[in-house]
Homo-oligomer: A and B are copies of this chain.
Amino acid sequence: MVLSRVRPSFEERERLSSIARKVLSRIEDLAWSGGVECETILVGSAARGTWLSGDHDLDVFIGVPEGSSLVPALEIARLVAPKFEERYAEHAYVHALFEGFELDLVPCYLVEDASRIISAVDRTPFHNRYVSRRIMGLEDEVLLLKQFMKGIGVYGSELKVGGFSGYLAELLVIRYGSFLGVLEKAALWRPGEVIDLEDHTSLSHEDPLVVVDPVDPGRNVAAALTLDRMFQFVAASRLFLKEPDLEFFFPSPISPLSDQELQEHIAKRKSTLILLEFAAPDQVEDVVFPQLRKAEQSVRALLDRNGFSVLRSDADWHRFVLAEMGEGEMGGSGKSGSYGAIRMLFELEVASLPRVERRVGPPVWEAEHAKMFISSHPDTFSGPYVEDGRLVVEVARKFVEAKELLCARMESLSLGRHLGPELRRGYKIYGGLEILKIGDPEFRVFMARYFSARERIS
């Protein structure tokens, strides 16, 4: 039932094969005519028959001998398809659109051993070889596992997700023999779990899950997996084994909240929501998301430090915001907002505080510090008095509303190399019901997810 939806049809396989062949022979022709010595390798799920139906990704590596230059390979890549852009990981590569497929053309070095790679991408052909030789007959199990991970939101090793990569899913199936075998083992995982397919004695890792790379024992295949994604998978595995359900694989889509629904949630929770919005920078997700998480934590810490206790927060990048965004209010620069909006949501347990504030000073017996503390608080509401041996004063608090604090301090926070400048170019703060003004569906889906926050757990 699941397989019929995720297994590529005969036609889909044929189409992918024919396109892959076309790309490979085009590269070989170009290499021949340019006199470039190279080897063309189809890698990834397309090469191993483990892609989910509907995915249209092709990863083609152009390998050159160790010691030679990657430049000719990159030049070939540029000529494969008319519509392309250059992207950068450790090295430049080409991302192209080719007959409806997203094509990554990646120059790499052909090394003898995966432990002697020059760039991280050089490892990929080894992964491809390792999996291809062992996955035969297990492709369906991989498809089930990938779709399960996708359905519960833990699939993808990109920094936005911090979940399981396709290669990791394949290794788990190779190790445990089946989709259900993986789930049964995962249900018992604890932090620090080590999986070592080739019984390499591996280096020790601090990561929550360590899967020793069979082709490079010093590397943890699960290095990008966060503790929370790992245990979302563990919890979902337990629940699925007890109560299997199609919903794990194909969760109902989340509808954007209507104004009324949004209002109802706010009224029910009676907490105070504060939303911070500014234009997204012209950067890829893997650059933006780590900064976004860090920025979210900085703002949280600022609020908590000032007594505005944060119940929960979330942040996201919304690309398809309404037309009104990016104009006037957002800063003015024509470019601002063209990449969508960065949004950070903070739900407060305490949004306003009394004017009086306690300040705890040094112990009385530190005479010099005590003197400085007293003289730096000439006007007190109460005190100085002695409590637990320390000086305490009660003075006028500067910010009694969380929103005031944010408006005053936001720009001085360290928010990351690309987010900081965008924020200083202009930002908006919405408090409480003001967030109703934000109508774009991406935001309303984000809010629906935020309020539910329900994961498949048992």
Contacts and interface: CB of A to CB of B under 8 A. Distances in A.
Nearest to A450: B382
A364 interface: yes
A394 B385 CA distance: 39
A270 B235 contact: no
A388 B227 contact: yes
Contacts of A227: 388-389
Interface of A, helix, strand, loop or mixed by DSSP = mixed
A358 interface: yes
A349 interface: yes
Contact of A270 (B311, B349, B355): B355
A191 interface: yes
A269 B349 contact: no
Nearest to A235: B364
B358 A312 contact: yes
Contact of A383 (B272, B382, B391, B455): B455
A21 interface: no
A10 interface: no
A190 interface: yes
Interface stretch (A67-75, A197-205, A284-292, A365-373): A365-373
Contacts of A348: 354
B234 A365 contact: yes
A354 B364 contact: no
A309 B304 CA distance: 13
A454 interface: yes
B269 A307 contact: no
B457 A384 contact: yes
Contact of A311 (B231, B234, B356, B367): B356
B235 A454 contact: no
Q: Which of A188, A348, A354, A381 has the most CB of B within 10 A?
A: A354
18 contacts: A187-B367, A190-B365, A208-B389, A228-B387, A228-B388, A231-B364, A235-B364, A269-B354, A270-B355, A270-B400, A307-B309, A370-B458, A382-B451, A382-B453, A383-B454, A385-B453, A385-B454, A385-B455
Return the 9 tightest CB-CB contacts between A and B, nearest first: A271-B354, A231-B364, A269-B356, A382-B453, A270-B355, A270-B354, A190-B365, A384-B457, A385-B453
